[in-house]
Amino acid sequence: MTRLTAFYDARCAMCLACRRWIEKEPKYLAIDFVAYQSKRARTLCPELERFDPAGEIVVMADDGGIYRGGKGWIMCLYALKNYREWSLRLAQPGLLPVAKRVCHLVSTNRLTLSRFFRNGDLEEIKWELRRTPPPIPGATGYENGTCSAELGIRSGD
């Protein structure tokens, strides 16, 4: 495998921001980005609609493998020099379900999240993340090493 094709939503500001980030990163594998709405996408992968590209990222490897959602993101990370180690960790049986859930949460709320990318509020998000302490094991909402806090994000918001 030497090349990946990532099918993304060209109308989504978050998808475009992720594309720009990945394009700037040093890579082990080439990554081509193709809007899933394009004629080129249908030519490259005639069965693309079967994988619901409007719902989650779909990544196709040059060896014919198709990866969707969390596995698609893991493949993109695998292609990046600075994130390959993370991809290998996330692909482990203990973390893969978490990666899939996070990817699904982000994918189902991407239009809401896109407002941050369109409005330039990324600095506000970074500031909030920096000032928020990490969860403490044993604290309310953090039992058995997993977060049980209600996120309050609904699809379609």
Residue type, 60: M
d(CA 7, CA 73) in angstroms, rounded, equals 11
For the chain, report the end-to-end CA distance as a whole number of angstroms. Answer: 38
Helix (H, G, I), strand (E, B) or coil at 153: coil
Q: What is the dihedral of CA 98, 102, 104, 110, to 10 degrees?
A: -170
pLDDT (tens digit per residue) in 60-102 = 999 999 999 889 989 999 999 998 998 888 888 888 888 777 7
d(CA 13, CA 11) in angstroms, rounded, equals 6
Q: Is the pLDDT of residue 26 over 60?
A: yes
DSSP 51: G
Q: Is the pLDDT of residue 152 over 50?
A: no
pLDDT (tens digit per residue) in 100-148 = 777 777 767 666 666 665 555 556 555 655 665 554 444 444 344 433 3
pLDDT at residue 132, rounded to an integer: 58
pTM, two decimals, is 0.69
pLDDT at residue 150, rounded to an integer: 33
pLDDT at residue 142, rounded to an integer: 38
CB atoms within 10 A of CB 141: 11
Confidence of residue 54 (pLDDT cuts 50, 70, 90): confident
Q: What is the mean pLDDT of residues 24-48?
A: 95
**Domain spans in the chain, listed from the N-terminal domain onward:** 3-147
